[in-house]
Amino acid sequence: MDAGVRDLRAADHLLHTLAAELALPEGAFGCTHLVRGDRPRVVVSLALPSPLPRTAREWLTARGHEVADGLPDAVGRAVVYPGVASLTGTTTIAELLARSAIDRVTVLGAPGRPDPRTSLVTRDHVRPQWQDGALVLAAMPAVGGTLVPFEVPDPTPCCADH
């Protein structure tokens, strides 16, 4: 769906709104996709365990969203996905993998996979990305041997200090 959104925060909000308004079923995925070119923007996709009902498609188009079948790319950033609501506070890598649709965790600058007992401070903002058909969370080292998701919940806008 193309709603003319230009930033990730607005796209995240749109996906949460759509998930609530459409009462998306368990097993649904909502992702963001960056579109470059002459009109840079963020589009969103919904993948459901069953086809999007015609009434939902009509509801979306009535609200000005361009709806098309298929994905804009294969590397969407997941915002809505099975288990995301349980990823709050601090959890271990093993718990994260067991409670959500995330397939694996990688740590920037580290070879291999992290120890499953490693704590991850979620900051209540866990945005994995699709890579070769797997949902992968990029994490980075933090204080006390913990990890945090690479994407921060409230990023500083570019050039904020200029």
Residues 6+ apart with CB under 8 A from 61: 67
Q: Please give the residue that has the higher pLDDT: either 69 or 2.
A: 2
Q: Burial, 141: exposed, middle or buried (Cβ in 10 Å; 0-12, 13-18, 19+)?
A: middle
What is the predicted pLDDT for the residue at 162?
Answer: 45
Does residue 119 have a pLDDT over 90? yes
The pLDDT tens digits for 80-108 are: 999 999 999 999 999 999 999 999 999 99
| Cα-Cα-Cα-Cα dihedral sign, residues 132, 135, 141, 144 | negative
pLDDT at site 71: 67
Q: How far apart are CA 4 and CA 94, in angstroms?
A: 38
The model scores a pTM over 0.75 = yes
Q: Which residues contact 26 (CB under 8 A, 6 or more apart)?
A: 49, 82
Which residue from 33, 29, 62 is spatially nearest to 46, judged by alpha carbons?
29
The mean pLDDT value for 60-89 works out to 85
